[in-house]
Amino acid sequence: MIAFISGNDALLMAVIFGSIFGALLHFGGVTRYNTIVRQFLFQDFTVLKIMFTAIVVGGAAIAILQPMGLVNLHVKPALMPGVIYGALIFGVGMVLYGYCPGTAVAATASGSLHAAFGFLGMIAGGIAYALSYPWITEKLFTWGKLGKISLPEISGVPAPAWVLLLAVVAGVVYWLIETKGPRTTEHEPCGTCCQKEGDH
Amino acid sequence: MNINCSCLKRAQPYLIGAAIGLLGVVTLLVADKPLGMSTAIAQTSGACAMPILGQETVAANAYWSKKAVPRWDYSTLFLLGSGLGALAAALLSRSFHWETVPSVWRERFGSSVPLRMAAAFAGGFLILFGARMADGCTSGHGIAGTMQLAVSSWTFFLVMFVSGVATAMLMFKTKK
């Protein structure tokens, strides 16, 4: 295992890393129900911009650091029934709730009472999953066990090429959003402002 | 006070996204831990289940004893930190505000608080159940897994998005 810190130091870093994550989610405006639901209605693209930029930037850094042996990959197993059924359920829940687990925690902390109530729902969902886990693994997880595979492994296309492809796709999508997309109205108040007038 | 912030506002989601991407790599580099949130909530659910179901039942459960052990560890402390960081950010930027029924919901379903709370509870139930079934959520799969180009994570991301769009269209776009 390669990690610069472990044990109690890692636990302290967990709180610090978590704090940065929570603060970034809040400053990104995704502690707001409206921002998240409007993404699924294609009225606000904040969520897509944040996630896709994170994926491209993080993917590029990993593509550089991993061959140098500086990071371990933690690829989750492609257990297809779990991933597909889970994602279908998750998508319905995310629109009903207006949050995903990370943004729900951050939204609860920034005053969203319905996010807090939904947190209780998440606890109930966790209990229900743990109790039904033996049945689910036995009855549903019977096919599609592809293991911890990555796109470079199944395609033969190396990771840097995938990241480049994602960057190009992101660039085109962002260009379309910025030129033809909806004008978003809701934003976090920003502390520092640009002097010069932006377009529009 | 109406200062023009348009250029910073337009850049903000990209800058925040880049920062989250870098954070996801720094946690791998420094602590060998990918970003994630739903495991910690499943661990918390185990702790909450103890007084209801009894400590023995929780300890004997295959999921809580192997996959999501209720205890303070990296994952649960990261969850705690996320709450603290968001609280600090909200207070410092003076954007902390109590919200019960958000405007997009109110315009469609009215201002009933119990209705909104019931939907939030049901939605919360579904996302955690779905996330644990898929072994990750929008953090663990959607950001950390996709940047590692995992097949599981890209499948989750795409299926989740299609499911969410279909749900949103049914809920918000059909005629009343």
Question: Which residues of chain A lie closer than 8 angstroms to B45, CB-CB?
Answer: 122-127, 130
- What's the whole-number average pLDDT of chain B? 94
pLDDT score of A1 more than 90: no
Nearest residue in chain B measured CA to CA from A30: B13
Calpha distance A174→A178 (Å, rounded) = 6
Question: Which residues of chain A lie closer than 8 angstroms to B59, CB-CB?
Answer: none
In this prediction, residue A4 has a pLDDT band, given cuts at 50, 70 and 90, of: confident
pLDDT score of A197 more than 70: no
pLDDT score of B1 more than 50: no
In this prediction, residue B7 has a pLDDT band, given cuts at 50, 70 and 90, of: confident
Of B44, B82, B135, nearest to A18 by CB-CB distance is: B82
- Taking residues B30-35, report their average pLDDT: 95
Best residue of B64, B132, B154, B162 to probe chain A, by most A CBs closer than 10 Å? B132
- Taking residues B32-57, report their average pLDDT: 96
Q: What percent of chain A is modeled with pLDDT above 70?
A: 90
Q: Is A175 on the interface with B (CB under 8 A)?
A: no
- What's the whole-number average pLDDT of chain A? 91
ipTM of the modeled complex: 0.95
Note whether A187 and B6 are within 8 A (CB): no
Whole-angstrom CA distances from B145 to A29, A56, A75 are: 22, 12, 6
Note whether B9 and A187 are within 8 A (CB): yes
What was the pLDDT predicted at A84?
A: 98
How is B70-86 classified by DSSP, letter by letter? -S-SHHHHHHHHHHHHH
Of A62, A97, A125, nearest to B147 by CB-CB distance is: A62
Note whether B91 and A27 are within 8 A (CB): no
pLDDT digits (tens, 9 = 90+) for B141-158: 999 999 999 999 999 999
If 0-12 CB within 10 Å is exposed, 13-18 middle and 19+ buried, where does residue A30 land?
A: buried
Nearest residue in chain A measured CA to CA from B134: A83
pLDDT digits (tens, 9 = 90+) for B55-98: 999 999 999 999 999 999 999 999 999 999 999 999 999 999 99
What was the pLDDT predicted at A7?
A: 79
| pTM, two decimal places | 0.93
Neighbours of B158 (CB within 10 A): 12
What was the pLDDT predicted at A184?
A: 61
In this prediction, residue A124 has a pLDDT band, given cuts at 50, 70 and 90, of: very high
Q: Is B81 on the interface with A (CB under 8 A)?
A: yes
- Taking residues A169-182, report their average pLDDT: 93
pLDDT digits (tens, 9 = 90+) for A36-71: 999 999 999 999 999 999 999 999 999 999 999 999
